Amino acid sequence: MPSPPWKAASTGVDAVLARWLASSWVKPCFCADETLHGTDGQYAPLPSYLAPGLVRAMHGRGIDRLYAHQARALEATRAGRHLVVATPTASGKSLCFHLPVLQAAADDPDARAIYLYPTKALARDQEAGLRELMTAAEMRTGAVVYDAERQEPVGRGLSPSCLGAFGILGPGLCGVNHGRKEERPARVRLGAGTVNR
């Protein structure tokens, strides 16, 4: 049995990987051992169909082009295709779904979206990012977090007329709350429609 990590002589990712690769019981669990060298980012221009407000918001954030994976995600959603985005931390995943949703709202004021997050903290963090982008784009729609403790939406200073254009759901309303099933059914009101689970 290996020593616990806090008793290791050296720390850090390289030290941990070296110990794993030297281990007769960890190394067989690996299906690959490969070092990928860093590469330059691949970029694409902001699409010409992107709403002017979103373009201004992006420029205001110092973004004048998209990463290639963001552009592909935007094109896929625009074509009505489903997708999964799996990229490292801080690689721009949020824009992969915020931009298509906000573009849909710019194209159709009646558009609605539901965001599902596994934790309340992540839901709140993403709500803040979405609100900043909507404010910078001068969009007159709202995003609101619904959670299991409060069946009413937690509207951050929003008027009732704009509550619920985008519903951001935490774990309780998704039916899973850190491993325990919620007993009461959730109802989420988005604009004129209601989503029941």
- Taking only the tens place, the pLDDT of each residue in 93-102 is 999 989 998 9
Instruction: Give the model confidence (pLDDT) of 48-102 as tens digits.
Output: 999 999 999 999 999 999 999 999 999 999 999 988 888 888 889 999 989 998 9
- Name which of 135, 153, 131 is nearest 144 in CA terms: 153
Indicate whether 29 pLDDT > 90.
no
Contact 47, 72 (CB under 8 A): no
Q: Which of 23-37, 52-66, 137-151 has the lowest mean pLDDT?
A: 137-151
Q: What is the mean pLDDT of residues 135-155?
A: 70
Task: Give me the pLDDT at residue 169, please.
Answer: 62
Q: Which two tokens stand for residue 45?
A: 């221009």
- State residue 86's pLDDT score: 87
Q: What domains, with CATH codes, occur in the chain?
A: 39-196 (3.40.50.300)
Most confident of 4-18, 60-74, 148-162: 60-74
Mean pLDDT of the chain: 76
Cα dihedral 114, 119, 122, 128, rounded to 10, equals 60
